[in-house]
Amino acid sequence: MTRSRGAAVVLAMLIAALAAAVAATVFADQERWNRIVFNRRDQVQAQALVMAGIQWARQILQDDARRSAIDHLGEPWALSLPPIPLDNGEIRGSIVDAQGRLNINALGHQEAAQDFERMRITALFAQRGGPTVATDAIADWIDADGNVRGGGAEDAFYAAQAVPGLAANAPLLRVAELSMVKGVTPQALAAVIPYLSALPDGTPTNVNTAPPEVLAAIVDNLTSDGLTALLAARAQKPFQSVADFRGRLPSGASLAADVALSVSSDYFYVTVEARQGVTVARGRALVHRVRGQAPAIAWEVVE
């Protein structure tokens, strides 16, 4: 009888332990599920904030078009949005003039009008440590034909690689696509990517928003002191026209041609970052502003 009672006690203890283990497992699974649900909720909210931020940028750019015919770094759109606290998070953003950079797609065209653009890109590569040896390969990647330039590459080269592929034979949508081109190393691309854009053929560079590195590639015989003086003059009074830009160049500096230069812009890069809880969402978009119309989104990435 005593032995039976002892066995019953042990069995009861085992059942209680099993029940406790099951309860702990269920509780842990519930906690894990709650965390997944909450994180997913925060992720969706953060991404929604990012998309709202991009729409905010469109409105800012549309309002700017009504106020001024030129675009420069003293306008409201050029001011970065500092972190704005929100319930359980924050949001920040910035608008950068895509036309303040050199348009890499100019390399893919043989027309004489693009000669000066190609010269500026070549000068930028040389000055900043860009992929100078890959200029022909980049041109072959962008142009529509299958003809191989002197140092270029077309389908035959890319098809023979460890991961076979083909040349795009189309304009770039994003400068980062250059990483797939023959001879473009990560180091060389990183050195020039802040000064390049990928825009439709014929889109000019805005001398009012171009950074010093781009101006140095545009203007011939521009010394460091001359560049400093040019930037100071621009900050004091933005250029009203390309002729005004040419007329205010420092002594000794020259401009080979007015081709593909402007003092206004239609394309802008928008970057927005939002945090909800521990979840962070980031978005980037290229906004195309058409005078008299609502700005359109050329492409958009939200992660």
Check whether residue 235 and residue 129 sit in a common domain: yes
User: Using only C-alpha atoms, what is the Rg of the chain?
Assistant: 28
Domain interval for residue 172: 101-262
Closest CA to 144 of 174, 177, 167: 167
pLDDT in tens, 35-57: 555 557 889 999 999 999 999 99
pLDDT > 90 in the chain, percent: 78
Q: What is the CATH number of the domain that holds 173?
A: 1.10.40.60
Check whether residue 88 and residue 137 sit in a common domain: no
- For residue 301, the model assigns a pLDDT of 95
Cα(230)–Cα(268) distance, rounded to whole angstroms?
23
* pLDDT grade for 110, boundaries at 50, 70 and 90: confident
pLDDT in tens, 129-148: 999 999 999 999 999 999 99
Check whether residue 244 and residue 162 sit in a common domain: yes
Per the model's pLDDT, the better-predicted residue between 3 and 243 turns out to be: 243
- For residue 109, the model assigns a pLDDT of 79
CA dihedral 48, 50, 51, 53 (to 10 degrees): 120
Dmax (CA) of the chain:
113
Check whether residue 20 and residue 109 sit in a common domain: no
Check whether residue 140 and residue 27 sit in a common domain: no
Domain total for the chain? 2
pTM here?
A: 0.86
C-alpha distances out from residue 247 to 239, 241, 252, 271, Å: 10, 10, 12, 35
DSSP sequence for 193-252:
GGGEE---TTPPEETTT--HHHHHHHSBT--HHHHHHHHHHHHHS--SSHHHHHHTPPTT
* pLDDT grade for 124, boundaries at 50, 70 and 90: very high
Check whether residue 231 and residue 286 sit in a common domain: no
Q: What is the CATH number of the domain that holds 94?
A: 3.30.1300.30
Closest CA to 227 of 239, 215, 210: 215
Check whether residue 93 and residue 122 sit in a common domain: no
1-10, 28-37, 281-290: which has the highest mean pLDDT? 281-290
Check whether residue 159 and residue 36 sit in a common domain: no
pLDDT in tens, 207-250: 999 999 999 999 999 999 999 999 999 999 999 999 999 999 99
Check whether residue 134 and residue 270 sit in a common domain: no
Check whether residue 137 and residue 234 sit in a common domain: yes
pLDDT in tens, 255-293: 999 999 999 999 999 999 999 988 999 999 999 998 788
Task: Please say whether the beta carbons of 263 and 239 come within 8 A.
Answer: yes
Check whether residue 123 and residue 258 sit in a common domain: yes
Check whether residue 55 and residue 194 sit in a common domain: no
- For residue 129, the model assigns a pLDDT of 97
- For residue 32, the model assigns a pLDDT of 58
